[in-house]
Amino acid sequence: MTSLPTYEEQRAAARRRLPHMLFEYIDSGAFDERTMDLNRADLDRLRLKQRVMRDMSDLDLSVDIAGTPSSIPVALGPVGFAGMYARRGEVQAARAAAAEGVPFCLSAVSVCDYEEVRRDSGVTPWFQLYIIRDRAYMGDLIDRVVGAGAETLVLTVDMPLPGIRHRDTRSGLYDTGLGGFSRQAWQGICRPAWLWDVFVRGRPHGFGNFAAAIAGKKGLGDYWRWIRENFDCSTDWDDLSWVRSRWPGRILIKGVLCPEDGVAALDAGADGIIVSNHGGRQLDSVRSTIDVLPGVVAAVAGRGPVLVDGGLRSGLDILKALAAGANGCLLGRAWAFALAAGGESGVVAMLQALKAELRVAMTLTGCTALRDADRSLLDTGSPPLSNLYGSGAGRGSL
Ligand SMILES: Cc1cc2nc3c(=O)[nH]c(=O)nc-3n(C[C@H](O)[C@H](O)[C@H](O)COP(=O)(O)O)c2cc1C
């Protein structure tokens, strides 16, 4: 049997390969990182319920994730700057997703733009966007991406301003001037394999989808500055109507963390929602996504798909998320580290590991089809779990 990579192994390999500030950028959360840790801790507290002596010879892992057929209930979620983790990283990740039959979502803040990813991977990615201050540019970008064939828009709404991430300021990520440049250069020199493969051979490191807006500038620092200047705290649900009027396809609202906002998103014209706290990178001390998920699912009451992300690292985590009511899952750090560790084949290996883990978990919980997963897969009898979900089976029956 070939050995399957674990999350921790790929994270460690990424740490060895990436300049310190890039590893920290992926690995870190906001403030004291309590919510980031809680995403994991609450998943770990959930217990699966083992069932035996059922005919499990025919398993169906496939689902439809918000209108996109997928081999497993997983999509590669939006992760910014992937082109700095591996050479033309967004293209490599999209190829891996295509090879394993799962959707890929391109972050707005990518190194490779939408057209390049589509052309060089052969897939039509989902596209993620923030509501940016420059609405004229945003409108043009939407038209451009729709023109290139995009069907699913992930509109991220939990970033009206950037979270406070201490590890990024400590690592020198945002440093400018000669001091900042020499610090960043030194971190690159300490990682010669990355320096040659990504920094030299992976050029141009452009501003991706925002290249026209940031014309005339060159450095990553200029990119950060433009992004920070374009966050917009004035957005409300009326802005979704405006986006809706320009985007003919599906719109998923990413960043919902309470039942009221889930309902509001659908009332405002979204097709589905993504329960997310941005991997604990925005507001710290909010609840974990697996904790709030059942309440959101109950409130939404089947009006649209409910996806979830945050701390998902293994096939067992995916099964737990489905059992708690999700219609599909997004991965963040798991694929970013896999990409940094091994490029396209690293992401393929990670997805294959998820599939193998899912098979074991399904077989020993008596789940023959993932689309039918429900609360009965969870053991609600153990003391720690009863605090998180109480007892009872079935989707959304809190
Ligand atoms: C390095 C990094 C960059 C990210 N960039 C984006 C982004 O550009 N757009 C977005 O909507 N979410 C972004 N996210 C959040 C992810 O889409 C996702 O919500 C989060 O990573 C899920 O948690 P997990 O990493 O624990 O799986 C980013 C996350 C990380 C780790």
> For 175-185, how does the pLDDT look when each residue is reduced to its tens digit (9 = 90+)?
888 888 899 99
- 193 pLDDT more than 60: yes
Domain that holds residue 347: 7-377
Closest ligand 1 atom to the C-alpha of 81?
A: 3
**Residue 11 within any structural domain of the chain:** yes
SS (H, E, C) 92-113: HHHHHHHHHCCCEEECCCCCCC
Contact 253, 273 (CB under 8 A): yes
Considering the chain, what is the average pLDDT of its residues?
A: 94
**Residue 149 within any structural domain of the chain:** yes
In tens, the pLDDT along 9-67 reads 999 999 999 999 999 999 999 999 999 999 999 999 999 999 999 999 999 999 999 99
* Residue carrying the six token digits 């409130």: 299
- Distance (Å, rounded) from C-alpha 243 to C-alpha 155? 9
Residue to mutate (ligand 1; options 8, 79, 282; most atoms within 8 A of CB): 79
DSSP3 helix / strand / coil % (the chain, rounded to 5): 50, 10, 40
**Residue 44 within any structural domain of the chain:** yes
- 157 pLDDT more than 80: yes
Residue to mutate (ligand 1; options 15, 313, 333; most atoms within 8 A of CB): 333
Which CATH number do you get for residue 269? 3.20.20.70
397 band by pLDDT with thresholds 50, 70 and 90: very low
Q: What is the torsional sign of CA 386, 387, 393, 398?
A: positive
Alpha-carbon distances of 164 from 20, 169, 221, rounded to whole Å: 18, 9, 17
- 381 pLDDT more than 90: no
- 68 pLDDT more than 80: yes
Q: Report the number of distinct structural domains present in the chain.
A: 1
- Overall average pLDDT of the 379-388 stretch: 73
Global confidence as pTM: 0.96
Tell me, in angstroms, the distance from the centre of ligand 1 to residue 133's CA.
Answer: 21
Residue nearest to atom 6 of ligand 1 (CA): 79
**Residue 387 within any structural domain of the chain:** no
- Overall average pLDDT of the 122-126 stretch: 96
Contact 127, 105 (CB under 8 A): yes
In tens, the pLDDT along 249-305 reads 999 999 999 999 999 999 999 999 999 999 999 999 999 999 999 999 999 999 999
Closest CA to 161 of 234, 260, 105: 234
In tens, the pLDDT along 77-103 reads 999 999 999 999 999 999 999 999 999
**Residue 386 within any structural domain of the chain:** no
**Residue 293 within any structural domain of the chain:** yes
Q: Is 309 in the pocket of ligand 1 (CB under 6 A)?
A: yes
Residue nearest to atom 29 of ligand 1 (CA): 79
Q: Measured between alpha carbons, how far apart are the two ends of the chain, in Å? A: 41
**Residue 392 within any structural domain of the chain:** no
Predicted confidence at residue 225, as pLDDT, reads 82
171 band by pLDDT with thresholds 50, 70 and 90: very high
Catalytic center residues: 278
- 398 pLDDT more than 50: no
In tens, the pLDDT along 303-358 reads 999 999 999 999 999 999 999 999 999 999 999 999 999 999 999 999 999 999 99
In tens, the pLDDT along 196-231 reads 999 999 999 988 999 888 877 767 777 878 888 888
Predicted confidence at residue 321, as pLDDT, reads 98
Closest ligand 1 atom to the C-alpha of 280?
A: 23
**Residue 394 within any structural domain of the chain:** no
